[in-house]
Structures are given as C-alpha cells and as structure tokens.
Structure 1
Amino acid sequence: VMFDTKGSLHAGRKDIEADSRLYRKWELCQATNPNRVATEAEALKGADVLIALSTPGPDTVKREWVRSMAPKSIVFCCANPVPEIWPYAAKEEGAFIVATGRGDFPNQVNNSVCFPGILKGALAVRARKITDGMAIRCAHSLADFAKKRGITPDNIVATMSETEVFAMEAADVAMQAIAEGVARVEATWQEVYDKAMADIAASRNLTKDMMAMGYIKEPPQELLQQMLEEAVAEVR
C-alpha cells in the first residue's frame, strides 16, 4: 500500500487518473492496493515493512502504528532533518531494524551512499546519460558490499566512511553503462575500481594535509548545533 499527501493510492483515485503528468503514479494506483486500504493505521497493521520518505517528524509515524506491525518489522523513516519517528521510539514499539536518512543514527539510508559512485562510474566511461539501469545497478552494488562485509540489525548498509563501496559502485555502474550502450569509452571493472580507489585516497590525503596545516579548520560545534536547530525549525 502506498500513500501520497492526499491519501492511499488505488484505482479509485480519479484526481491522479485525470492528471496526465502523474501517469507513473496512476500506474501504481492500478497495480497496488486492490482492497483500497484508506489509512496508514490500517495499512500498517500486521505489515512487515514501512518505508517512509515524507513529512519530517517526529510524530508523522505514530508509535501505535509501529506497535501494530508484524514481529521483527523493518522501519525506514528517511525524512530529514527529523525522521518521521525517532529510531529509539520505533525500537521501543517492536521494530527490529530501523533506518533513517541521518548519519548520526545507525543505518543511514541516504542518497549520499549512492550518488558519488553513480557519478564516478558514469564519468569513468564518459556515459552519455545516467539510466535507471545504472542507478539500480548501484543499489545492487551497495547491497552486495553490505552482504560481503556482513550485516547486523544496526548495520545493514555501508556508511560514507567505508570508501571502498564507492569504488565498487563506480565499477559496477560503469559496466552497466557499457552493457546498455551508453558509454563512450571502454574500460574493465578492475580499471574503474582501481582508478576510483586511487582518486579517493588522493583526495582524502590532500584534505588531511590541508587540515593538518590549518588551511581547513574544524567547524565549531556550536555552529553545527545552531545549523541543526535552524533546519529543524524550518520544517515545524
């Protein structure tokens, strides 16, 4: 069951059917929710998974909704800067795996762990465009990396500090671009991977040296706190 700002998607949503710009959403209306479940509470009762990318919380997703889900439920609350429900609250209500869009909580599910690899892979083979297939291949690469190094309930996805993931994504995306015929130049998986790892190392070493020499300073903690408070205030 899927929801937009006006309610659940189903074949009775004439407002979506009437707007030709929303043809993709109308396809989803016809393919999902045959019973026309109307409310979030009803949809989540006994559900295994919730994926929310909606209005910042922390009360967008109610505690009782999570409590009503199936045992060992999975809850992705990816709104920024405040997730739809705080991770600790979702855990208290029975969620087994909880992810957010923020890096200061476990399991950051954010485009920041994908777009560097997609862009690097596209540039490596001078791709004419970035296709859906390339983006999906990056997602599979991210999942493969996590499975290879092992996952736990609080560590299901690579973090931005695990720089090898970006090189793997770049190589996989580049190979997908070649397979789809949108690459202008040929390269092997290993060539793209090695070049990406070398570029990442060079950039990190340069930044480290510039910080050590005082050219790049650590931002004051009070400034970071102020920026967070201002961002939260903007969405409330």
Structure 2
Amino acid sequence: DLAGELRWVAEHTNPRGFRGSLREAMRGADVFIGVSAPNLLDGADVEAMADRSIVFALANPDPEIDPVEAGQHAAVVATGRSDHPNQINNVLAFPGVFRGLLDAQGRTVGAHVLEAAARALAGVVADSELNASYVVPSVFHPEVHDRVADAVRRSVLAGHENA
C-alpha cells in the first residue's frame, strides 16, 4: 500500500499499465531516471527513447549507462559523477536542508519542505544560463546551500513542516 506522493506517482506515470522489461519500457520514453545499478542500458536503449529525451543515470560510482554514450542520443544527461556535467549529488541539498531545519527549529521534513528545497535548488540556475549541460548547479556554486537553507527555513516557519 503506497501513501501520498508515491500513490500519485504510481497512478499518474503509467496510465497504460505497462508491464515488461526495462528495454521495452525505454521505447518512446521521454525520461529515464535511474538510481539502481551500473551498465543496465546502452546507446540503443537511449536511441529508442522519444526525441529530445532526458536521461538521469544516477547509480554511483558507475551509472546505468556511460554519460558520453547517453549524450549521443539524449538531449539532456545527468549523472552522479563529478567528472561530467549536471552532477546530481545529495550534497546539493543536505547542507542547506539541515541548516534551514536547524535555523527554524524544525523537527520533521514534509513534502512542502522538500519541494521548497527543490525549487530553491532549481532557481540557482538562471534561465539565461540554462542549457543541456547546465540544468543542475554545481555542488560548488556559492549560492546553493544558502538558497536551499533559506527556502527550508521559510517553509518550516510557514507551518509546512509536516505538510
């Protein structure tokens, strides 16, 4: 039995009730988000996706597909690796989330708090800077942690801690 957001995702992301292999699921897909195991995909899998597809191959240290190979077919590629553009790493969120919770004396983290953190993180990349190689700010961007901390603090103080 799924709760809240997980139920929504399950109900809204598979309207056709697809069942099958990962390779079959990749055909025509707009987005792949992998957080599982290395080397599950190859270039043919990404090529079979929809035009201008997005691949987030986040298994670490070795992603589901080599980012260079994925980039030959996908419009946007992100990985957990620091040696490629669009590194998605928990260090983008954790220092700011904890600082914001501590500053607001928050005790729990609800969906609204996480959404505030995500929106703050996304807002670090200005529209004028946004491109296929820069959809996620660097973990070294000087504004990341302060912006996330401020957004979390404001969300908790607004009463969204458990919402």
TM bucket, shorter chain: 0.7 to 0.9
Q: Can you list the C-alpha shifts for 1:150-177, whole angstroms capped at 9, x where unaligned?
A: 2121111111111212101111110000
Q: Provide closer, same or farther for how the CA distance between residues 135 and 29 of structure 1 changes in structure 2, counting only shifts above 3 A.
A: closer
Indicate the residue corresponding to 1:121 in structure 2.
Answer: 100
In structure 2, what residue type is equivalent to 1:44? Answer: M
Residue 135 (1) aligns with residue 93 (2): no
Give the drift of 1:145.
1.3
Partner Cα separation in structure 2 for residue 181 and residue 145 of structure 1: 22
Q: Which amino acid aligns with 1:42?
A: E
How big is the shift at 1:29?
4.7
Q: What does residue 82 of structure 2 align with?
A: 103
Give yes or no for the alignment of 1:81 onto 2:81. no
Q: CA deviation at 1:37?
A: 3.2
Among residues 39, 42, 53, which one is paired with 2:21 in the alignment? 39
Instruction: Name the structure with the higher helix share.
Output: 1
Contact 2:31 2:54 in 1 (8 A): yes
Question: 1:155 aligned to 122, 126, 134, which one?
Answer: 134
| Pairing of 1:145-184 with structure 2 (within 5 A) | 145-147=124-126, 150-180=129-159, 182=161
Structure 1's unaligned 5+ residue stretches are 1-21, 183-236
Q: Distance in 2 between matches of 1:29 and 1:155?
A: 29
Bigger shift: 72-81 or 152-161? 152-161
- Residues 1:49 and 1:176: Cα distance change in structure 2 (over 3 Å): same
For 1:160-205, what per-residue CA distance to the aligned partner results, in whole angstroms no more than 9, with x for missing partners?
11121210111111000011165xxxxxxxxxxxxxxxxxxxxxxx
Quote the Cα distance in structure 1 between the aligned partners of 2:13 and 2:75: 26
Distance (whole Å) between structure 1 residues aligned to residue 17 and residue 81 of structure 2? 34
Distance 1:114 1:169 in 2: 7
Return the structure number with greater relative CO, CA threshold 8 A, min gap 6: 2
Letter in 2 for 1:46: G
**Greater radius of gyration (CA):** 1
Return the alpha-carbon distance in structure 2 between the equivalents of residues 46 and 138 of structure 1: 31
Distance 1:39 1:169 in 2: 37
**How big is each residue's C-alpha offset from its partner over 1:50-73, in whole Å with a ceiling of 9 and x where there is no partner?**
111111x2x212321101111221
CA RMSD of aligned residues (A): 2.1
* Number of aligned residues: 158
In the alignment, the residues of structure 1 paired with residue 6 and residue 137 of structure 2 have an alpha-carbon distance, to the nearest angstrom, of 34
The runs of at least 4 aligned residues of structure 1 exceeding 4 Å deviation read 28-32
Partner of 2:30: 48
